[in-house]
Amino acid sequence: MRLRRDSTGLRHATGPAEFGRVAVLSGGSAGDRASSLRSGAVVLDALQRRGVAAEGFDPGERALEELTSRGFERAWIALQGPAGGGGALQGALEFLGVPYTGSGIVGSAATADRLVTKRLAQAIAVPTADFVLLREPIDLTDALERLGLPLAVKPAARGAAVHPIRIERAEQLRVAWESAVRSAATVFAERWVAGEQYAVVILQEAALPSIRVDRGPAAQPMYRCPSGLSAQAEDHLARLALAAYEVCGAEGWGCVDFVLDQTGRPQLLGIDTTPALGDGSAASCAAQAAGIELDELVWRVLETSFARTPVRPDVGRQEVTC
């Protein structure tokens, strides 16, 4: 396999044959299935246009073991939400010996938990909104006293069935908490930060131009890139994004979300290690602003799979006698 390395130590392919047979994982059985299938179709078309031997593979309909039995040599993860970014899929692929794109088990699991992400960010002084873990009724009083109103009630798990709830009156908090804990194992209250939302896409350990996230009709996000930040603010946001991304163990590519408070100070919201792709997506918008066409973006994400060494499924599983 002919590979070249850039100054960061990342490895790059010089031709499509170096990737071998690639499975584009999309679909699954989670609530993000429709979005994942759209992203998977975009990825598959882009890879095939570049001559990569890529095929679609839906883990919601096929067993992952087929990846090895059908001779796939690596996987492009286009699954979203918990199905793609929680660490379980990455663990299964490592067990099967199939290299894959993006973050590994640790980074995927850490960023899938909002509380873990926030605590790791705090440890390296990346700003994030103050919060209170809600375990019992007394914590509700603590949250109101420490955070004030308005605040948000959030599940720790990204992609959980229950969505963040804005609380504007004290009497709403207990009802929201009781409702949330029926669907989520861990729930916390977070100080509500009003301000513009921004996202920084990380590709091969470098930050792309930031994106301003506007909410269109029906709360659908609309991405503006360039974001309008000054050069100094752009550099500061990129540094924070890379720091949060690294401390959480994220790798390869991802999207780091922030809100700028009333003083203009960025507050970390979370990290997505399996961003959507396609027309109008944050990743596509940021790449275009950086002069990276869609096909090249998809190719570079696939190159992140070179960070993982293929392992035969039978290695280390021989019978041992004592």
- State the pLDDT at residue 220: 77
DSSP string covering 34-89, please? HHHHHHHHHHHHHHHHTT-EEEEE-TTTS-TTHHHHTT--EEEE---THHHHSSHH
pTM given for the model: 0.92
Report CA 27 to chain centroid distance, whole Å: 16
pLDDT band at 217 (very low <50, low <70, confident <90, very high): low
CATH number of 131-191: 3.30.1490.20
pLDDT in the model for residue 315: 41
Q: How many angstroms separate the CA atoms of 184 and 87, rounded?
A: 18
CATH number listed for the domain at residues 111-124+194-302: 3.30.470.20
pLDDT of residue 2: 35
The pLDDT tens digits of the residues spanning 230-284 come to 999 999 999 999 999 999 999 999 999 999 999 999 999 999 999 999 888 999 9
Q: Structural domain boundaries of the chain?
A: 3-100, 111-124+194-302, 131-191
Residue 4 has pLDDT above 50, yes or no: no
Collect all residues with Cβ–Cβ distance below 8 Å to 92 and sequence separation of at least 6. Answer: 64
Q: Quote the pLDDT of residue 218.
A: 61
- E-strand stretches of 253-307: 253-260, 266-272
The CATH classification number of 3-100 equals: 3.40.50.20
pLDDT given at position 3: 37
Query: pLDDT per residue over 136-145, tens digit each?
Result: 999 999 999 9
- Tens digits of residue pLDDT in 164-202: 899 999 999 999 999 999 989 999 999 999 999 999 999
Number of Cβ within 10 Å of residue 12's Cβ equals 14
Average pLDDT, the chain: 91
**Can you tell me which residue has the tokens 């596509």?**
284
- For the chain, percent of residues with pLDDT exceeding 90: 81
298: left (phi > 0), else alpha (psi -120 to 50), else beta? alpha
